[in-house]
Amino acid sequence: MGEVEAQELQLSIMAQAEENEGKVAVPNQLSRRRGFDWWLRMSIYTVLVLAGQAIATLLGRQYYEKGGSSNWLATLVQLCGFPILLPVYFIPALNKNCPTTNSTIALESNPPSTLVRASVYASLGALVAADCYLYSVGLSYLPVSTYSLICASQLAFNALFSFFLNSQKFTPYIVNSLVVLTISSSLLVLQGDDDSADSSKVSRPKYIIGFICTLGASAGYALQLSLTQLIFVKVIRKETFKEIINMIVYPSIFSSAIILVGFFASGDWKVIQNEMEAFELGKVSYIMNLAWTAITWALFSIGTVGLVFEASSLFSNAISAVGLPIVPVIAVIFFHDKMDGIKAMSMVLAIWGFISYVYQHYLDDRKSKREKIAANDAPSKAFPLENI
């Protein structure tokens, strides 16, 4: 072999080695990203979702149980807690680029224009406003245990929207989860007047309206999460904690404005003083109920958007589904809701559907680890020393 040919062969081998080295850089990087900091963030977001959802739902039901009646006010407090997040903008460390395991988010040098951001936030805010109002109507007509179990259907809706918007793949375990959660929610419509009278004290038509509104709100919430993930990937394209807060604060401003218009247009603001005075637990408890409801929903929003940012919309919704069986149990203790056979069966099916989904993620995680190991071993197998 001539000297020129030897140099060309050496350059070719070096180029192939560099190419293969580049291919394994991503798995190694993802492996480092799943370190202590990532697990810490995921743990904090998970706690915020579980605790925020349970506490806010129970406080919302207490508002109606003890004399509250304004759906517009109940919706407004779900949205107006965002000012407690504003100090985050003044913490420089939280505004830096942070690693994420969501590999679909690509960093881009060209940020979206102000008009694009405003349009996205306004559209998402309108969806959030409608969604929260439906949740308020459902919670006002349904026992909190029934309400929470119907919300389990949001995982099924999220899987559907994720398939079309986020390229989520269906597997037998995911399909099983969808079917079981659908049956779980459908069983609750069989609850009779006795159940509705037990806690909500409403007629069967209102009970059905509450069921439909809660189901619609669950679908809207699932769509909201999938769109949030899509916005992170296609529009924001930036990995900072500040962007998580932006995704909460700006849509909340638009949605709060929409609900505030409805609050004054409906005339509910005129009866708030009488409602406060007639509240069974007193004026102070009335104010504290509304204030803590706003705060806990704001913390819940941080958790959900954070999980979408770090993982996916479907994962965020799955964590939310974990907390759903907790609320009915607490409701039985504090609100004396009945836990009859149909409701117990619905809870079991909801847990079954969630476990089926989590098991699919377990299988995906094992597959991902095997692929990383294979990728790390690829260079040594591709270029044995004796061939160089």
Tell whether 15 is covered by a domain. Answer: no
Q: Which of 54-63, 216-225, 246-255, 310-319 has the lowest mean pLDDT?
A: 310-319
* The predicted structure's pLDDT at residue 189: 60
Q: In angstroms, what CA-CA distances link 247 with 123, 157, 304, 333, 356?
A: 12, 21, 11, 36, 30
Q: Decide if pLDDT at 185 tops 70.
A: no
Q: How confident is the model at residue 227 (pLDDT cuts 50, 70, 90)?
A: very high
Q: How confident is the model at residue 153 (pLDDT cuts 50, 70, 90)?
A: confident
Q: At residue 163, what is the residue type?
A: F
Select the more confidently predicted residue: 292 or 308.
292
Torsion sign across C-alpha atoms 187, 141, 288, 49: positive
Nearest residue to 104 via CA among 308, 241, 369, 248: 308
pTM of the model: 0.75
Q: Decide if pLDDT at 193 tops 50.
A: no
Q: In angstroms, what CA-CA distances link 299 with 44, 102, 231?
A: 10, 22, 21
- Residues near 199 by beta carbon (within 8 Å), at least 6 away in sequence: 65, 142, 143, 144, 335, 336, 337, 338
Q: Which domain holds residue 324?
A: 36-102+109-373
Tell whether 18 is covered by a domain. Answer: no
Burial environment of residue 96 by CB neighbours within 10 A (0 to 12, 13 to 18, 19 or more): exposed
Q: How confident is the model at residue 250 (pLDDT cuts 50, 70, 90)?
A: very high
* The predicted structure's pLDDT at residue 267: 92
| Number of domains observed in the structure of the chain | 1
Whats the size of the chain, residue-wise? Answer: 388
Radius of gyration from C-alpha coordinates of the chain: 25
Tell whether 21 is covered by a domain. Answer: no
H helical segments located in the chain: 3-33, 36-65, 71-79, 114-141, 144-150, 154-165, 172-187, 193-199, 204-231, 241-265, 272-278, 283-310, 313-323, 326-334, 341-382
Tell whether 27 is covered by a domain. Answer: no
DSSP class of residue 35 equals S
Tell whether 305 is covered by a domain. Answer: yes
> How many angstroms separate the CA atoms of 338 and 332, rounded?
6
Q: Three-state DSSP class for 267? A: coil
Q: Decide if pLDDT at 24 tops 70.
A: no
Q: Decide if pLDDT at 213 tops 90.
A: yes
Tell whether 12 is covered by a domain. Answer: no
Q: Which of 36-50, 73-87, 95-109 has the lowest mean pLDDT?
A: 95-109
* The predicted structure's pLDDT at residue 130: 96
Tell whether 117 is covered by a domain. Answer: yes
Q: Which residue has the tokens 């505030």?
A: 260
In terms of phi and psi (left: phi > 0; alpha: psi -120 to 50; beta: otherwise), the region of 357 is alpha
Residue 153, both tokens = 């259907």
* The predicted structure's pLDDT at residue 96: 59
> How many angstroms separate the CA atoms of 356 and 176, rounded?
7
> How many angstroms separate the CA atoms of 262 and 268, rounded?
9
- Residues near 271 by beta carbon (within 8 Å), at least 6 away in sequence: 69, 70
Tell whether 342 is covered by a domain. Answer: yes
**Cα 163 from chain centroid?**
16
